[in-house]
Structure 1
Amino acid sequence: METHISTTPFGRRPMTLGMISSQVAAKAMPADLTVHKWHVFQNIKEARGALGATDRALAILDALLSFHPDTALYGDSELIVWPSNEQLIGRANGMPPSTLRRHLAVLVECGLIIRRDSPNGKRYARKGQGGEIEQAYGFDISPIVARAAELKELAEVVRAEKRAYRVVKERLTICRRDIVKMIDAGIEEGVPANWGRVQQTYQAIVGQIPRTAPCQVLEAITAKLEDLWAEVREVLESFVKTKNMSANESHIERHIQNSKPDSKSESESGLGNRDEADGNVADTDNVRSLPKRELPLGIVLDACPNMLWLVKGGGGIRNWREFLAAAEVARPALGISPSAWEEARTAMGGQQAAIAIAAIYQRQDQINSAGGYLRSLTDRAKAGKFSVWPMVMALLRAKLDASKTTGTGSEAEAAAVDLETAGKVVRTENRLEISDALRRSLDKPGRRS
């Protein structure tokens, strides 16, 4: 007589249509179907969110599968395992019995196992005379064989969603980084644009990013950021192209002028009669008599206070690195081309070139062409006939003269102290001294700032 197969749970557990659906699927699976149980289990782990399974439930399913001796599961084989709760707890890392029962119910609800309960709810197997199992009561794992193809497709969908989410997160991160750095570059290089509005637009878009968001939401936000990225990029590229065209025209113009022996270049005609401070080159021809030591940063800032206007947030300049950064901002404001700036740094050194820029920026209202003036200084530096000392000394003397003329007594004294400090240039153990040649140059009665 054929043994009746249990289809309802023992005790107070109710029967549901989901249980019947799992039993129908298991009954309809082909007899020749073969799956690798651990491959199917891997698909279940990846698709657990879509299935509604928990991590603890998967730990129990892992233990249940380990009680089946075969790795390959067949559609026509016996797929019921009957471990006791104690055995399951041991293989499920010692979870409490109440947790075990709760997550076994989750596996049943997800349609991954079927309960085959005995009349008294115990799990066991009855063997025949030949030792073969005639009837088993426990958990039927045939649903994972019957649903193997479905579980594989579901896992592939989940993997594709994860890939798409990872890609959109990468796009979002890169786009945010690009926009922030392009805005900073535009501000630093003096590119004409309403950067305040651009920053506000960027902050408004970024503010829409939730802490946890589905892929579709991130796609929409990333699309907005990419549109903003395209706008900022177009502004910067247009500015670069315009500057390149201007640089090419200037290069062609200089080439034509230099090919005429009777004509003078811009630096020769407009600036050749200037010295490094304000125009008298003859007074500073003897560069060898000038100090060889570096100018202290404090003295340079006293002579060129306008450089402090270029510091973000109105802060001070604390070191040479910040001074060089301020010079990088002053350079485009003066209309000095990148090529002229690069030549100056090569000929003078970065620090000396930055001091020259600061002196030009301080006297920009008295210089017709800052770019031509810097090129003239660069040519003199290449010939070994240039030093930044006379420029700074002249600016300090102008500051002192202005204080004597229009300032109060205390201001005049402060300016005098600045000039006296600037004059002490030869470092000893505890103080600085001035060279005789520089003192004679500074004390000339006819020298004006």
Structure 2
Amino acid sequence: MAFTQATAPTGLRTSEILSADNSIPERHIVVATLRNAAPRLGLSASVISTLDAMLSCLAPKRNHHTVFASNATLTFRRNGISDRTIRRHAATLQDIGLLVRRDSPNRKRFTKHNRHEGKALRFGFDLSPLFDRLHEIASMAAEVMKEREQIDYLRAKIRAAANASLTDNPNDEIALDIFRVLRRKLSLKDCEQILSNLPISVVDAESADNESPISTTTMTASDGQFVRHHHRSSKEHIDKVSISLKKQTTLRVSEAPITIPELLSACPEAAEFSLRKIVTVHDVVAHARTLAPMIGITTQNYEAAHERLGALRAAATVWAIMQFHDKIKAVGAYFRTITTGSKSDGFSPEKLIRRLALAKNHAA
């Protein structure tokens, strides 16, 4: 038995646009971005799973974003949910503005081509609005993640203050009530309100920029414990710091700063996602902050890179990774390693951008 692959005629594929499967952005990135932005969009996890099933039905290379799969196929890919649920989820996605339903007279989903005019009629679930709004959705996702971090920080601060009060007075009703409230899901406004009305002393937080490593040279021990010996070579530490500083100084002196035209030329994939024209450094940085969560870079890792490399160099690194992120197994870990991790000493965003530009010129 022979298996033959059926493909559409070449003339029907006038251009290769973004795919939800194996091109930028990848399907799992689109879905992850939607999950993060779900509170702002009003999407439930079940509706997002149905949208994920629709995305899985899109062809890897195509010149449209229409899903032709039947409800039976979508039901199978959603592990057997009802046909009625599929229709309800499709209606929800249409109301939110992520999908356009184009029904044929017989309610079937198919394409009808006119080869003479080079046109086609497509009946099905058109996901073009989702891809058109992806930049906006990524901005929402970044805002939601930032708000979550702030909520977690305030909850920890409230819990620490209440715990300090219970240490002084185990029967403090106010502190006990606070712990009961913290069992619930709180919004940022709720946390700020609780913190402002807190009658007990609030725990002061130190600046993250001035953190110093914990000293281990002095240790106390009670009965039955012993002080462990800690050996540290000052000479080795100084040598490593000197080498690191020397490398950074050499890179800064020998390499010219990245220009915006150079960045746009070397990283066209990242530029395609911008809804506005990139003109200033502020535009580059703002766009990088939107792209970062789309490819799996957390806000914490991005801020750490921003502190070490500077605004433009950290943003340029994100732009560059967008060009080849499909070849990286774990983008977040890779970004952390080259910007603040074990391979950060020899890393240069300028070299990376110019290497991409050179590869692009050779390919052309």
Larger helix proportion of the pair: 1
Task: Tell me which structure has the larger Cα radius of gyration.
Answer: 1
Q: Given the two structures, how large is their TM-score scaled by the length of structure 1?
A: 0.37
Q: 1 or 2 for the larger relative contact order (CA 8 Å, sep ≥6)?
A: 2
Q: Given the two structures, how large is their TM-score scaled by the length of structure 2?
A: 0.44
